Chains A and B, each alone.
Chain A
Amino acid sequence: MEFKDYYKIMGLARDSSQDDVKRSYRKLARKFHPDVSKEKDAEAKFKELGEAYEVLKDPEKRAAFDQLGANWKNGQDFKPPPNWDEGFEFKGGGFTNNDRSAAYSDFFEQLFGQTGGQPGGRYRQSFHERGQDSHAKIHIDLEASFQGATQNITLSTPEVDAQGHVQIKHRTLSVKIPKGVKPGQHIRLTGQGSPGLGNGQAGDLFLEIEFNNHSLYRVAETDIFLNLPITPWEAALGAKIKVPTPEGFIDLKIPPNSKQGSKLRLKGRGLPTREPGDFFVMLQIVLPQADTEAAKAVYRNMHEQLDFNPRQSLEG
């Protein structure tokens, strides 16, 4: 079991006041909140922070933690000394009262997790409650929205066993991805959420669709975007170009005098959702290198033949 230095996690000195603990938590919580932060391991960091705060905000838990001594290093292998918690009484269970889904580290559970949180009690048998709905994200490829697919997803659910320990259970589900889903949409699997209590029904599982990055396309809502490199003469003179779309190649007409970055819309060729999105081709004019005599001659010829000044507006 790894030692967790809750002071280090919260960036605090061991003699910080309770006010400092609260302030530091607020600050770091805003920074690492998974809904706000785009940092890579925000979720793990936020969890760790929550755990640290759970201990340090509570004078009893904090005093018990302090008792372990200041010589432990974060991540160091740790076994609690015998009777280390003698004389301390912890209220509240192994996880916070306001978040039943939080799972804390082994370190936390070992120190603070066993005194409360036991499910059960005398009236449990006659108590029925529908299980909670649970949520997960499922990452799919763009193609799955066009063709439909079946995809495996592994869910990690914290579960409280009869002794009150929280354990992470893994299960894998094969889920059918129907045609025409878009990012942010949900698939609801009835009865696949948390189990109910007593004779209560199980909750539902909501899977939020997220698209994997695609090598060619970008997706925004129901629209698909493709950057299409074209030559200057295709842009200037117009052309017919073979363009990939998720449904196969199409012949796209580039109008003459097309400009860099202009968008061509193919209506209804975006995601095949209930109201299909559009497919946008963004023209990217690529200049050929002037790396041969012939190429240089062409550019020189353009210079001589074309009366072209792109900086007219800068000259006043």
Chain B
Amino acid sequence: MNSHDLSIVYTGTVIEEDGLTIGELCRACDTHAEWIISLVEEGIIDPYGNEIRSWRFSSSCLVRALSAFRLQRDLGINMAGIALALDLMKEIEILHTQISLMGVNGNGHKLLKKKSN
């Protein structure tokens, strides 16, 4: 065994469905609570729990919030536009998954192979 094998292995925590508080989500997105609240109000992300203080956000909320942040910052899209873009992108992703399921044995999926990663 060489010294490389002895390097530290980092063990993290997996963020489950009820993983993040609003504070943690704010920090993870480097943004403020008002902005997160407006994402929830627009229906872009959907926390567990009724009150803001008991809100818990899942990993997929984090992915969507980060995407929303970048879309707003880079493209100047407003909340309604972000919601629409993310929903359409989700739909495209589902379609791509379905296509890749059909195409596993090579049934003409090469035309649509752009998104295989």
Are A174 and B15 also in contact (CB < 8 A) when A206-B62, A218-B104 are?
no
Majority secondary structure, A binding face? mixed
Q: What residues on A are CB-neighbors of B30 within 8 Å?
A: 132-133
- The one of A46, A184, A188, A274 that contacts B13, using a Cβ cutoff of 8 Å: A188
Kindly provide the distance from the CB of A41 to the nearest chain B CB, expressed in whole angstroms: 12
CA gap between A224 and B63 in the complex, in Å: 22
Q: What residues on B are CB-neighbors of A176 within 8 Å?
A: 9-12
Q: Does B66 contact A (CB under 8 A)?
A: yes
Kindly identify, within residues 1 to 37 of chain B, every residue whose CB is under 8 Å from any CB belonging to chain A: 7-17, 19, 27-28, 30
- The one of B28, B60, B101 that contacts A206, using a Cβ cutoff of 8 Å: B28
Q: What residues on B are CB-neighbors of A173 within 8 Å?
A: 10
Kindly provide the distance from the CB of B8 to the nearest chain A CB, expressed in whole angstroms: 7
Kindly provide the distance from the CB of A139 to the nearest chain B CB, expressed in whole angstroms: 9
Q: What residues on A are CB-neighbors of B50 within 8 Å?
A: none
Q: Are A187 and B12 in contact (CB under 8 A)?
A: yes
Are A174 and B104 also in contact (CB < 8 A) when A33-B71, A98-B73, A187-B13 are?
no
Chain B residue total in the interface (Cβ 8 A): 39
Instruction: Please name the residue on chain A nearest to B7 by beta carbon.
Output: A174
CA gap between A175 and B9 in the complex, in Å: 5
- The one of B15, B71, B76, B104 that contacts A227, using a Cβ cutoff of 8 Å: B104
Kindly identify, within residues 171 to 213 of chain A, every residue whose CB is under 8 Å from any CB belonging to chain B: 173-176, 178, 180-181, 184-190, 192, 203-208, 213
Q: Mark A13-32, 1 if CB is under 8 A from B, else 0.
A: 00000000000001001100
Q: What residues on A are CB-neighbors of B54 within 8 Å?
A: none
Q: What residues on B are CB-neighbors of A147 within 8 Å?
A: none
Q: Mark B51-75, 1 if CB is under 8 A from A, else 0.
A: 0000000011011001100110111
Q: What residues on B are CB-neighbors of A205 within 8 Å?
A: 12
Q: Does A135 contact B (CB under 8 A)?
A: yes
Q: Are B15 and A188 in contact (CB under 8 A)?
A: yes
Q: Does A150 contact B (CB under 8 A)?
A: yes
Q: Are A133 and B28 in contact (CB under 8 A)?
A: yes
Are A227 and B105 also in contact (CB < 8 A) when A29-B75, A98-B73 are?
yes
Q: Does A291 contact B (CB under 8 A)?
A: no
CA gap between A173 and B13 in the complex, in Å: 15
CA gap between A279 and B75 in the complex, in Å: 40
Kindly provide the distance from the CB of A170 to the nearest chain B CB, expressed in whole angstroms: 15
Kindly provide the distance from the CB of B103 to the nearest chain A CB, expressed in whole angstroms: 9
Q: Are B116 and A213 in contact (CB under 8 A)?
A: yes
Q: Are A186 and B27 in contact (CB under 8 A)?
A: no
Q: Are B105 and A284 in contact (CB under 8 A)?
A: yes
The interface centre, meaning the residue of B66, B70, B74 with most chain A CB atoms within 10 A of its CB, is B74
CA gap between A189 and B104 in the complex, in Å: 35
Footprint of B on A, CB under 8 Å?
26, 29-30, 33-36, 38-39, 46, 50, 98-99, 130, 132-133, 135, 150, 173-176, 178, 180-181, 184-190, 192, 203-208, 213, 218, 220, 225, 227, 229, 274, 282, 284
Name 21 A/B residue pairs within 8 A (Cβ), A-sorted.
A29-B75, A33-B71, A33-B75, A35-B89, A36-B85, A38-B114, A50-B74, A135-B66, A181-B14, A184-B60, A187-B14, A188-B13, A188-B14, A188-B15, A204-B28, A206-B28, A213-B117, A218-B100, A225-B101, A225-B104, A282-B101
**Given A185-B14, A187-B14, A225-B104: 7 more A-B contacts, CB < 8 Å:** A29-B75, A35-B71, A38-B114, A178-B11, A186-B59, A208-B59, A220-B94
